[in-house]
């Protein structure tokens, strides 16, 4: 028995998902989800609720997907604190990069002034 090749994911294709839900390889309405990312989320307990059709077939219903997307969009508790901390770290990193860029431009301007280049 040979395996059929997986069809490529096409953004906006309404036929990419079944009426009853999507499989892991198809991802969600926002696009394909890498299997590694899905299993990491599942291991952390952040993954969407799964529906087992058979021993080897798992789907995620549209209702479960909507609940999962809502939970990701509006985190609470520990997840909200971790997201806020990550946002603060990204902001600090961006500000540090901005200061470094300005300092670099100032050094370049000083070097060009010293060399007499206008």
Written as tens digits, the pLDDT of the chain (118 aa) is 555 555 555 544 555 544 445 555 555 555 666 777 778 888 988 888 888 888 877 777 777 877 887 888 888 888 899 999 999 999 999 999 999 999 998 888 878 877 776 5
Spatial separation of the C-alpha atoms in residues 56 and 10, rounded to whole Å: 25
Residue 93's pLDDT is what?
Answer: 97
Cβ neighbours of residue 25 closer than 8 Å, sequence gap 6 or more: 6, 32, 35
Task: Judge whether 59 and 23 are in contact, CB under 8 Å.
Answer: yes
Q: Quick check: pTM over 0.85?
A: no
Kindly list the domain boundaries of the chain, sorted by start residue: 14-74, 75-118
* DSSP label at residue 83: H
């Amino acid at each position: 028995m040979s395996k059929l090749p997986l069809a490529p994911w096409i953004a906006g294709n309404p036929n990419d998902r079944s009426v009853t839900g999507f499989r892991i390889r198809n991802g969600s309405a926002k696009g394909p989800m890498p299997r590694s990312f899905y299993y990491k989320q599942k291991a952390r307990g952040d993954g969407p609720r799964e529906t087992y059709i058979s021993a080897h077939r798992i789907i995620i219903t549209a209702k479960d997907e909507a609940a999962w997307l809502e939970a990701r969009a509006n985190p609470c508790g520990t997840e909200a604190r971790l997201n806020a901390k990550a946002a603060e770290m990204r902001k600090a990193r961006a500000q540090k990069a901005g200061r470094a860029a300005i300092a670099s431009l100032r050094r370049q301007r000083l070097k060009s002034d010293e060399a007499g280049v206008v």
